[in-house]
Amino acid sequence: QAAAALRIIARDANMKASVRQSAELYQLLWRAAQRFVTGETLPEALESAQHLAAMGYGLSLEPIGENTEELAACRAAVATFSALIEELGRLSLAETVSLDLSHIGLNLGEELARGHLTELAELARQHGVSLMIGMEESAKTEAILGVYKRTAGRYPNVGVTLQAHLHRSPADLTELMQYPGKIRLVKGAYGEKPEVALPRSEELNRRYLDMAERLLENGHPCSIATHDEALLCEIGRIAGERLPGFAEFEMLYGVRPERLNELRLGGNACRIYLPYGPEWYLYLCHRLAEHPNNIFRALTDIVSP
């Protein structure tokens, strides 16, 4: 219930406006958000990116945003992503830019999203940057995969995220492995109906493991994006036996950083998902909804001096 409420709050325009208008509330919530968000601006994100890249991490940077509903706002989002890609190129950071297709126009139509994605993929290619498409609610899965498949052949620098919790995903994986792009495997962050997805469970972990094994067996470019200890141990063991150094582990900024560091020191490729931007409030709510224990952490962050 807490998770469902937070998902609604995340998208509530009045709540967002209240946070912006009240300097005190803004400061309090920003304290909690800083655990998960690297900054509000591009220079702040780039500073963190350079620091983490120098330590040996790969990065997925994302200006936070989703569900853009007006054309001008979609163009503004494309401009934001373009500026990020160009800056990464200028700094010779051959990193990944993550994006949700609904941020750049999917809600206004697949053609618009595809056009914007192609524009960004071309720019990214010129700058040695990769793109990773995030996966959104199941109502959008078909459209997102459709746009991805129409772009992936021409742009192998574009990858896509698959949510193991969706019942359709094992079949989608079979098809997606025919495209060259990287597949980022996650459990799935959105509340879905049982007809559509598995809840957090042993069954979901078995499905995640099975999909990860298929990616590794096929030597398909992939990112194992989980913080789940049992999965990390098992996939680390399988990858070590079959393809040492091939699997990439990816975690959210601020979630289990010590464990990712341990994986990195063990010789594994490790990537950090680094979100930033003025829409941090939306992202904070998503992280709290996904792992309600974070509400207590957030309160501690807020009250600690």
What residues are paired with 58 via a beta bridge?
271
List the alpha helices (DSSP H) in 41-189.
Answer: 42-55, 71-90, 110-126, 141-152, 169-176
Task: Decide: helix, strand or coil at residue 54.
Answer: helix
Per-residue contact string for residues 253-272; x = within reach of ligand FDA by CB under 6 A:
--x-----------------
**Min. distance of Cβ 101 from ligand FDA in angstroms?**
10
**Min. distance of Cβ 112 from ligand FDA in angstroms?**
20
Q: Does 35 bind ligand FDA (CB under 6 A)?
A: no
By CB under 6 A, how many residues form the interface with ligand FDA?
A: 23
Per-residue contact string for residues 155-194; x = within reach of ligand FDA by CB under 6 A:
------x-x----------------------xxxxx----
Report angle CA 58, 146, 118 to the nearest 5 degrees.
60
Given 101, 252, 284, 298, the residue binding ligand FDA (CB under 6 A): 252
Q: Which is nearer to ligand FDA, 38 or 161 (CB)?
A: 161
Per-residue contact string for residues 123-162; x = within reach of ligand FDA by CB under 6 A:
-----------xx-------------------------x-
Report angle CA 192, 193, 196 to the nearest 5 degrees.
85
Per-residue contact string for residues 76-115; x = within reach of ligand FDA by CB under 6 A:
----------------------------------------
What residues are paired with 163 via a beta bridge?
186
**Positions of E strands within 26-133:** 58-63, 96-99, 130-133
The pair of structure tokens assigned to 118 is: 């192609």
String of DSSP letters for 4-50: HHHHHHHT-HHHHHHHHH-HHHHHHHHHHHTTT---SSHHHHHHHHH
Maximal C-alpha separation, the chain: 54
Which DSSP helix (H) or strand (E) runs through 162?
strand 158-163
Q: Which is nearer to ligand FDA, 124 or 198 (CB)?
A: 198
**Min. distance of Cβ 24 from ligand FDA in angstroms?**
25
Q: Which is nearer to ligand FDA, 179 or 249 (CB)?
A: 249
Given 104, 225, 263, 274, the residue binding ligand FDA (CB under 6 A): 225
**Min. distance of Cβ 261 from ligand FDA in angstroms?**
15
Please, which residues have CB within 8 angstroms of residue 96's CB and are 6 or more apart in sequence? 58, 59, 60, 61, 129, 130, 131, 132, 159, 271
Query: Hey, what amino acid is at 157?
Result: N
Question: Which residues of this protein are in contact with ligand FDA, per CB under 6 A?
Answer: 134-135, 161, 163, 186-190, 200, 225-228, 250-252, 255, 273, 287, 290-291, 294
